[in-house]
């Protein structure tokens, strides 16, 4: 009984994901699972396959091998129906990828109207609500080019949240931001984490990772080298390689 | 001098009136149809599978690579030999649409390819199908960027609509030629015709500039 319940709690399961680009193997068998309300933070040097992994999860990149389940349904099995799964996996990109021709509000609305088929009025109310959640209701009618980087990223979080996703995927959400704008975005993500959202976050922000992660996953060369709860991971990493990475990243980014 | 005004006001302008109307009809039909075809061809080349994109490429090579006049001749004089007949007006419109579509498609294709791949990715991540992403995310941005190029093609179209006369569709230039040879007044007639084309081009240029302004994305550019 207990076991069953645990299984039902698993929102996302990733099993043995492989991906090659040409001869280069980017992902060499990644597996992990994430329970409802958990936040997993993936760290690792650039080129270790973190972004590719996230894109494999929502099939923006089709993995060569491996399986993915979302809430008990196999994503990799229903290739034709992938759009139904993508709706339930909110994605936030490093460089925002807001739709440049639409206002902040319409960026949030468009998925509701064109994918979820909500009517205009309902979509507008919901979109406004999401913008409020990230503190941008006053910027609703501004276009992406009129927003700061931090505001853009918060709009893109609102856009993903509006679809009521089961899991949120963050691909280095603060890496393209000026240092003084990082805080507002991390705050918005923290708020989500503490609000019970299930999330996978790729980031270099170690202080943030420490405060929100249920588990830290360290990736290198397309593999998970080690993982653990933040306290143990940061204070006592198993491998010398992890230690070196942590030292380096602390030097670069601070705590 | 009085005679000159009399000729222009009472003979030339009334007899050019019909021809001008035909020209305007040719142009007004060909512009939107050519644009629509251009969008389809461009999307086919960028997003189509191998077969579709090859077909679209071949189309563009043919219609950009051969003189419009040759295309018109094939449509009007050539096709009847295999049992396909078009009226002079229809041949002209079809020729203009096919030709301008090929040129538009190149401007639009360039614009589509200039849109960052992240836009498509974000649209698909929201659960949009390829088709919806193209329709609601890619094209609205690409078409804005294609306006200057397409405007150029539209202005060309206004002027090359005069080729319709070569397939016996009596439009502005054709009507002028008839009058000019009847009165042996080539200079006056073609000067006036030139001015009429200039007026049409100016009006359309103005409209296109207004459209570009109206569609400008705030904060960009």
Please judge whether A93 and B122 are an interchain contact, meaning their C-beta atoms are less than 8 angstroms apart: yes
pLDDT in tens, A47-65: 889 999 999 999 999 999 9
Instruction: Tell me whether residues A83 and B144 touch, CB distance under 8 A.
Output: no
A131 min Cα distance to partner chain B (Å):
17
- The C-alpha of A158 sits at a distance from chain B's nearest C-alpha, in angstroms, of 12
A146/B118 Cβ within 8 A = no
Q: How far is B118 from chain A (nearest CA, A)?
A: 5
**Assembly ipTM:** 0.91
For residue A79, what pLDDT is reported?
Answer: 63
d(CA B84, CA B62): 20
Each residue's pLDDT tens digit, A84-126: 999 999 999 999 999 999 999 999 999 999 999 999 999 999 9
CA distance A72 to A88: 13
Output the CA torsion sign for B62, B64, B70, B75.
positive
pLDDT value for A254: 63
- Rounded CA-CA distance B96/B31 in Å is 8
Q: In the predicted model, is pLDDT for residue A140 greater than 70?
A: yes
Mean pLDDT of A55-76: 92
Whole-number pLDDT of residue A9:
87
**B128 in contact with A, Cβ within 8 Å:** yes
Task: State whether A98 and B141 contact (CB < 8 Å).
Answer: no
* pLDDT given at position A6: 55
Is A113 touching B (CB cutoff 8 A)? no
**b/e per residue, B101-117, with b = 16+ CB within 10 A?**
bbbbbbbbbebbeebee
Residue A253 has pLDDT above 90, yes or no: no
CB nearest to B144's CB, from A101, A114, A144: A101
> What stretch of H or E contains A189?
helix A179-194
Q: Exposed e or buried b for every residue in A161-183, given b needs 16+ CB within 10 A?
A: bbbebbbbbbbbbbeebeeebbe
C-alpha B90/C-alpha B97 separation (Å) is 10
Residues of chain A contacting B137 with CB distance shorter than 8 Å? 99, 110
pLDDT per position as a tens digit, A160-196? 999 999 999 999 999 999 988 999 999 999 999 999 9
Rounded to whole angstroms, the Cα distance separating B173 from B179 reads 10
Select the residue of B116, B119, B127 nearest A83 (Cβ to Cβ).
B127
Mean pLDDT of A127-138: 95
Q: Does B144 touch chain A (CB under 8 A)?
A: yes
DSSP-derived letter for residue A75 is: T
**Are the Cβ atoms of A60 and B125 closer than 8 angstroms?**
yes
Tokens 């490429």 -> residue: B57
What per-residue confidence (pLDDT) applies to A8? 67
A156 touches chain B (CB under 8 A): yes
Question: B219 and A144: CB-CB below 8 Å?
Answer: yes
Return averaged pLDDT per consecutive 10 residues of chain B, 221 residues in all.
Answer: 80 90 97 98 97 97 96 96 95 97 97 97 96 97 96 96 95 94 91 96 96 91 58
Reported as a pLDDT band with limits 50, 70 and 90, residue A216 is: very high
How far B139 CA lies from chain A's nearest CA (Å)?
10
Distance in angstroms (rounded) separating the CA atoms of residues B49 and B124: 18
Are the Cβ atoms of A110 and B126 closer than 8 angstroms?
Answer: yes
Is the minimum CB–CB distance between A112 and chain B shorter than 8 Å? Answer: no
Closest chain A residue to B117, measured at CA: A97
Q: Name chain B contacts of A163, Cβ cutoff 8 Å.
A: 126-127
| Chain B residues lying within 8 Å of A90, measured CB to CB | 125
pLDDT above 90 for A73: no
B136 → closest Cβ in A86, A110, A146: A110
Angle between helices B139-160 and B88-114 (to 10 degrees): 140
Predicted local distance difference test score (pLDDT) of residue A46: 85
The pLDDT, as a whole number, for residue A255 is: 56
At A1 the pLDDT is 40
């Amino acid at each position: 009984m207990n076991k069953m319940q645990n299984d039902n709690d698993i929102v996302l399961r990733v099993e043995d994901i492989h991906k090659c680009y040409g001869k280069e193997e980017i992902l060499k068998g990644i597996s992990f699972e994430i329970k409802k309300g958990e936040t997993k933070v993936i760290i690792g040097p650039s080129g270790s396959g973190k972004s590719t992994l996230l894109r494999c999860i929502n099939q923006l990149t089709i993995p060569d091998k491996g399986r993915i389940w979302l809430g008990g349904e196999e994503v990799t099995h229903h290739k034709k129906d992938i759009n139904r799964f993508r709706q339930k996996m909110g994605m936030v990109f490093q460089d925002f990828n807001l739709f440049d021709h639409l206002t902040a509000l319409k960026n949030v609305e468009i998925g509701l109207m064109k994918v979820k088929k909500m009517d205009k009025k309902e979509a507008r109310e919901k979109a406004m609500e999401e913008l409020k959640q990230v503190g941008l209701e006053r910027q609703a009618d501004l276009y992406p080019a009129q927003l700061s980087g931090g505001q853009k990223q918060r709009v893109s979080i609102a856009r993903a949240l509006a679809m009521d996703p089961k899991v949120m995927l963050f691909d280095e959400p603060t890496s393209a931001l000026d240092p003084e704008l990082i805080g507002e975005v991390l705050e918005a993500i923290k708020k989500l984490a503490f609000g019970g959202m299930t999330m996978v976050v790729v980031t270099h922000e170690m202080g943030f990772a420490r405060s929100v992660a249920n588990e830290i996953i360290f990736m290198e060369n397309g593999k998970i080298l080690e993982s653990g709860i933040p306290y143990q991971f940061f204070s006592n990493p198993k491998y010398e390689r992890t230690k070196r990475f942590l030292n380096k990243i602390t030097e670069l980014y601070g705590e | 001098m009085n005679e000159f005004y009399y000729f222009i006001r009472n003979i030339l302008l009334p007899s050019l009136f019909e021809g001008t109307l035909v020209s305007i009809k040719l142009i007004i039909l060909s512009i939107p149809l050519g644009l629509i075809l251009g969008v389809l061809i461009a999307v086919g080349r960028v997003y189509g599978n191998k077969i579709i994109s090859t077909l679209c490429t071949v189309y563009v090579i043919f219609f950009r690579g051969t003189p419009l006049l040759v295309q018109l001749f094939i449509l009007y004089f050539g096709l009847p030999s295999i049992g396909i007949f078009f009226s002079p007006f229809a041949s002209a419109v079809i020729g203009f649409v096919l030709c301008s579509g090929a040129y538009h498609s190149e401007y639009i294709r360039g614009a589509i390819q200039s849109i960052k791949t992240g836009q498509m990715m974000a649209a698909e991540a929201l659960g949009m199908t390829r088709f919806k992403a193209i329709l609601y995310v890619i094209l609205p941005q690409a078409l804005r960027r294609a306006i200057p190029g397409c405007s150029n093609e539209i202005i060309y179209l206004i002027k090359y609509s005069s080729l319709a006369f070569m397939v016996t569709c009596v439009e502005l230039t054709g009507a002028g030629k008839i009058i000019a040879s009847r009165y042996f007044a080539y200079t006056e007639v073609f000067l006036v015709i030139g001015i009429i084309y200039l007026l049409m081009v100016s009006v359309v240029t103005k409209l296109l500039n207004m459209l570009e302004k109206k569609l400008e994305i705030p904060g960009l550019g």
